[in-house]
Amino acid sequence: MSDALIISTSYGTETDEIRTPLEALQEAGVTTTVASVDGSRIQTLGADRTTGPLVDSDTTLGAVAASDHDIVIIPGGTLNADELRIDPDAQRIVRDAAANGIPVAAICHGPWLLVTADLVVGKTLTSYPTLAADIINAGGSWVDEEVCVDPTNGFVLITSRTPEDLPAFTGAVLDAVA
């Protein structure tokens, strides 16, 4: 059986970008762990403004290891991604995933963490369009596609742009853990 790890802060995660993959993974029988910075429930937001439902966190980022999972998923939300990208445990998790050949999936502003963790060099990926310059400046190639799957540099990177791309993103995540 597969095991997925979703990492987040406790505030500002885009509602659909955490709930849609979480629900799809659970429906597919994938054991899914949600880890937040401090282990508290995650207050989601719609479009960075509208309060959404809370999502339960199972543990803290400090208590998880990427090597215990088959994929690491980074949901977006500007506030979530801006805080997550500077969190040392979040950086450790994605670096360890990449070093161990574990797929990493990031949507919307989620790739900011990958830029900070120096994991986009030589990779082709997509994101929310405002991150294109950050990705290019960090050594990656940015494409405007609903989902991009890049297997180079020793790990699979799955990325998407916005909540509208969730069907393609979630499909690629499910394929990666199949």
- List the structure tokens of 148: 């991009």
Q: Which of 30, 72, 108, 132 is catalytic?
A: 108
69 is catalytic: no
Residue 49 exposure: Cα atoms within 13 Å on the Cβ side: 1
Q: Which of 109, 110, 112, 166 is catalytic?
A: 109
Other C-beta atoms closer than 10 Å to the C-beta of 65 total: 12
109 is catalytic: yes
Alpha helices in the chain (DSSP H): 15-27, 78-84, 88-99, 111-116, 132-137, 166-177
Which amino acid is located at 155 in the chain?
Answer: F
φ and ψ at 176, to 5 degrees? -70, -30
Provide CB contacts within 8 A for 89, sequence distance 6+: 37, 60, 61, 62
Rounding to the nearest 10 degrees, give the CA dihedral for residues 99, 123, 103, 46: 120
Q: How far is CA 163 from CA 13, 76, 140, 153, in A?
A: 12, 9, 22, 27
Instruction: Return the active site residues.
Output: 108-109
